[in-house]
Chains A and B, each alone.
Chain A
Amino acid sequence: MNSDVLKGPWDIVVVGGGNAALCAAITSAEEGARVLILESAPKTYRGGNSRHTRNFRCMHEGPLSVLTDSYGEDEYFDDLMLVTKGKTDEPLARLAIRSSEECLPWMEAHGVRFQPSLSGTLSLSRTNAFFLGGGKALVNAYYNTAEDLGVTVVYDAEVTHVHIEGDRFTHLEAQVGGKSHRIEAKAVVLASGGFQSNLEWLTRAWGPAAANFLIRGTPYNKGAVLRDMLDQGCESVGDPTQCHAVAIDGRAPKFDGGIVTRLDCVPFSIVVNRDAERFYDEGEDVWPKRYAIWGRLVAAQPDQVGYAIIDSKSIDLFMPSVFPPNRADTIEELGAQMGLDGVKLAATVSEFNKACRTGRFHPTELDGLATEGLAQPKTNWARPIDTPPYYGYQLRPGVTFTYLGLKVSETAQVHTASGPLSNVWAAGEIMAGSILGQGYLAGFGMTIGTVFGRIAGREAAAYVN
């Protein structure tokens, strides 16, 4: 890259290269602003966590694009309240929800293509619009649109410092091509994600257990800009110690495993820890409502590991796994294969099997088929594990995103204790903690990114024009 390009002059510099950054860049470029995107990843890994996403949760009064029926503001908000247990900023949340409806046609007009709900996700056909090809296709479409609008993109550009004087951003410092550069612009949009791939930061919050966490998304979300802004007195929201973690395949790559590492077998299994003991009700609720808590449950076990054990009756009841399961004709052998005490595992299974009773098994609804007399019951789908071959999956906590973020206003402006910064806006995961204080609602991250990306782009463009 020719480093002269960094000299500009630029109206707006966008830090980050995912969905929120691109929505901001496109919106402000359409208003005539000269826009520079600084993406810390190389081109092949551009797009942050957006490249792993698959859908967009969208309010709609009637059938809209691929979305069926309707999904109103109040129902959407109730869903959000349910998962966040009230940890949200209602005005911001309602703004995101209300704006989502006009976002969908905007996304289509800017190159995003939607497809009907994927097989195995029919329950989302009313609420979530799926991207054809997934999030990377969305990211590609936005990069093409941005390029057509004259936006300049620099990859491998790691922003190290956003310089603030008084209430104004003046310039930023970035490492590009092994050299430090000073980049000036009239305004800045911060859309550089959270810090979930910063293991040191996670360790500070979680202790040594964090070493065993897998990061489901991009390794480039190190939170350098977030840290820098917090150090300069910007107001934060969200619990700094918390991250959203789900139970995923323990053999997943350390970073970037994405969607395929999920395991949907837990409700039909028993899950044991390193000591071959069960530790939680595997059948508490349907998996879409429970997968998120299992990240935390596994994180709390010794060595942050769990083992889901099923038999051949259940192997076809869930989405295929990316890695084949361990498989054996006896429980002892399966346990040994997985590094567990096989005899103890057999005893745990046998105790569980004795507690199962007969009844109607129904894999897709709460069937009430519960164990009897166990200290740790399984309250649904409790069928004896007795039909070889037996299968086992190792589970690890997979971190999806972190909650700590920058506090923003309804115009996406970043705040310090003494008020808003006049030319700094934030969008996407870096500010999502304002709305998602806890839990997660499928497809809502993309909604926040799109809505606040567009707001940030609009506001920044209005400021510089």
Chain B
Amino acid sequence: MSIDLINEARRQTEICNACRYCEGFCSVFPALTRNKMFTDGDITHLANLCHNCRGCYYSCQYTAPHEFDLNFPAALAEVRQDSWERHAWPQPLARRFHESGVAVAAVLIVGFVVLFGMLQTFRPASGEGFYAYLAHGAMVSLFLPAFLLPLLSVIIGLRSYWQEIGGTRIRWSHIKGAGLAAARLKNLDGGQGQGCNFEHEDRYSNTRRWLHQAVMYGFLLCFAATSAGTVMHYVFDMPAPYGLFSLPKLLGVPGGVLLTVGCVGLAWLKTKADPSLGAARVWGGEMAFIALLGGTGATGLALYAATGTALVPVLLAVHLGFVLVFFLLLPFTKMIHGFFRFVTLIVEEQKRGA
């Protein structure tokens, strides 16, 4: 455990606890008033509860050059980032992709090569839609493990995180509270709907919140589209391709648009914001992740738009390459924050009720 990061966050937390001016911004400040002393687990919990809205930083009377040198969003971001890496499994993969956009790009290229190779190798004699280029069986044999292995990794990581922050028995009310907070991104609304302090320094803005919502709901729609396709294939014996007025397309097309637009917007916003209020060492990795996620959406849309043209095999390989790498790197990129965040919101419901 990076005890220096935790200790620095604890030092700042104790100053915040003696001040409390920021109570109305988000869940972090009411949460820290529950304690006078903070265990490492408490600090990790607070760090993952923080959504980096930065309201507290710009309101703080103790930021540098004041000798208290508070930068609470950055201190928590460092602990948060560290917690994702500490709990990552397997450990050798824990840091590289968070820190290095080049590493993400390299894996992406490998992904493309694999997919192009498969398209060459496993091109079926006959088939409809995508299955004309890559047999269904080959696709499943690649993507099923590429989905299940990361999922297993996430579960292992979350389990040890859950123990560290002191999760208890989950009740429906905890999930409901956490779900509502996540669905509205309550912790990025500044406490009163005015939004956070990101691209315009001390001026509030909801742009980041809306763009994040676009990404989140876009991703969920895309995921739902894929799930719908799977169900239609296996349960109702309705294999792809699907027309525009089918469930996978009705979910997937708006999802892809939201995901793409949201990612482009978030990347643009990130260039406007002060990197020193976050975990600065992962700036590049975060940017690469946004590109990976947005690329997944954009290439999916491009593939659909290219239906019936000669571009389909190339775009299919590129899109599936994005999807493959997105899933494989899921436990080791910024994507993991969604899982940690949701678990943290559940535990916060538990602690608040306790």
A118 within 8 A of B: yes
In Å, the complex CA distance between A320 and B16 comes to: 10
Contact A52 B61 (CB under 8 A): yes
B20 touches A135 (CB 8 A): no
B171 within 8 A of A: no
Given that A52-B61, A132-B191, A135-B61 are known contacts, is A118 also in contact with B21, CB under 8 Å in the complex? yes
Cβ-based interface call for B235 (8 A): no
Query: Is there an interface contact between B61 and A119, defined as CB atoms closer than 8 Å?
Result: no
Q: Is B14 in contact with A115, judged by CB distance below 8 angstroms?
A: no
Q: Which residues of B contact A45 (CB under 8 A)?
A: 65
Residues of B1-48 contacting chain A, CB below 8 A: 14-15, 17-25, 30, 33, 36
State A321–B192 Cα separation when bound (angstroms).
Answer: 29
Q: Are A137 and B59 in contact (CB under 8 A)?
A: yes
B20 close to A140 (CB less than 8 A):
no
Q: Which of these, B14, B25, B30, B33, contacts A133 with CB under 8 Å?
A: B25
Contact with B along A106-146 (1 / 0, CB 8 A): 00000001011011100000000011111111001001100
Cα–Cα, bound, A115→B30 (Å): 13
Neighbouring A residues of B203 by C-beta, 8 Å: 144
**A377 on the B face (CB < 8 A):** no
Interface: B194 (CB within 8 A): yes
Chain B residues near A321: list those with CB within 8 A. 18
Instruction: Tell me if A60 is interfacial: C-beta within 8 Å of chain B.
Output: no
Cβ-based interface call for B304 (8 A): no
The interface centre, meaning the residue of B15, B17, B24 with most chain A CB atoms within 10 A of its CB, is B24
Q: Which of B17, B23, B36, B202 contacts A115 (CB 8 A)?
A: B23
Task: Tell me whether B192 and A256 are in contact (CB under 8 A).
Answer: no
CA distance A411 to B14 in the complex (A): 44
A259 / chain B contacts, CB cutoff of 8 Å: 18-19, 21, 61
- In the assembled complex, the CB of B38 is this many whole angstroms from the nearest CB of chain A, namely 10
A9 partner residues in chain B, CB cutoff 8 A: none
CA distance A153 to B202 in the complex (A): 16
Q: What string of 1s and 0s marks CB contacts (under 8 Å) between B192-224 and chain A?
A: 101000000011000000000000000000000
Pick from A134, A143, A320 the residue with the most CB of B within 10 Å.
A320
A133 to B60, CA, bound (A): 7
Q: Output the least CB separation between A381 and chain B (Å).
A: 20
Q: Chain B 47-84 against A: per-residue CB contact (8 Å), 1 yes, 0 no?
A: 00000000110111111111110000000000000000
**Residues of A with C-beta under 8 A to B67:** 253
Cα A316 to Cα B34 with chains together (Å)? 11
B213 CB to nearest chain A CB (Å): 22
Q: Interface residues of A toward B: which range?
A: 35 or more
Mostly, the B contact residues are: loop
Indicate if A51 sits at the interface (CB-CB under 8 A): yes
- A113-B194, A260-B18, A320-B18 known; A44 vs B65 contact (CB < 8 Å): yes
Given contacts A119-B33, A316-B36, A320-B17, contact A258 B62 (CB under 8 A): yes
Tell me the chain B residues, 151-210 only, with Cβ under 8 Å from chain A.
191-192, 194, 202-203
Q: How far is the CB of B127 from chain A (nearest CB, A)?
A: 60
How far does the alpha carbon of A319 sit from the alpha carbon of B15 in the complex, in Å?
A: 11
Residues of A within 8 A of B14 (CB): 320, 322, 324
- Any B CB within 8 A of the CB of A54: yes
Residues in chain A near residue B25, CB distance under 8 A: 132-133
Contact: B19 with A260, CB < 8 Å?
yes
Cβ of A52: which chain B residues have Cβ within 8 Å of it? 61
**Chain B contacts for A320, CB-based, 8 A:** 14, 17-18, 36
A320–B66 Cα gap in the complex (Å)? 21
A116-B24, A132-B24, A133-B21 given; A140·B61 CB < 8 A: no
Within the assembled complex, what's the spacing in Å between the Cα atoms of A258 and B163?
38
Considering only residues 30-57 of chain A, those with a C-beta below 8 Å from chain B are: 44-45, 51-52, 54
Q: Which residue of B lies closest to A117 (CB)?
A: B23
The answer to whether A136 touches B61 (Cβ under 8 A) is yes
Q: A140 is contacted by which of B33, B64, B202 (Cβ under 8 Å)?
A: B202
Bound-state CA distance A58–B224 (Å) is 52
The interface residues of chain B lying within 8 Å CB-to-CB of A44 are: 63-65
Contact with B along A65-83 (1 / 0, CB 8 A): 0000000000000000000
B192, A260: Cβ atoms under 8 Å? no
- Chain B residues within 8 Å of A144, by CB: 202-203
Say which residue of B33, B58, B62 sits within 8 Å of A137 (CB atoms): B58
A119–B20 CB distance below 8 A: yes
Cα A430 to Cα B33 with chains together (Å): 36
Report yes or no: A119 in contact with B23, Cβ–Cβ below 8 A.
yes
Are B36 and A134 in contact (CB-based, < 8 A)?
Answer: no
B20 touches A133 (CB 8 A): no
Residues of A within 8 A of B33 (CB): 119-120
Interface positions of A from 289 to 322, Cβ below 8 Å from B: 315-316, 319-322
Proximity bits, B229-262, A CB within 8 Å = 1, else 0: 0000000000000000000000000000000000
Q: Given A137-B55, A260-B18, output 10 extra A-B contacts at Cβ < 8 Å.
A: A113-B194, A130-B24, A133-B21, A135-B21, A136-B58, A136-B61, A144-B203, A259-B61, A315-B36, A324-B14
A residues in contact (CB < 8 Å) with B: 44-45, 51-52, 54, 113, 115-116, 118-120, 130-137, 140, 143-144, 253, 256, 258-260, 262, 315-316, 319-322, 324
List 14 A-B residue pairs with CB atoms under 8 Å apart, sorted by A's residue number: A52-B61, A115-B191, A119-B23, A120-B33, A131-B21, A132-B24, A133-B24, A134-B21, A135-B21, A135-B61, A137-B21, A260-B18, A316-B36, A320-B17
Chain B positions near chain A (C-beta within 8 angstroms):
14-15, 17-25, 30, 33, 36, 55-56, 58-68, 191-192, 194, 202-203
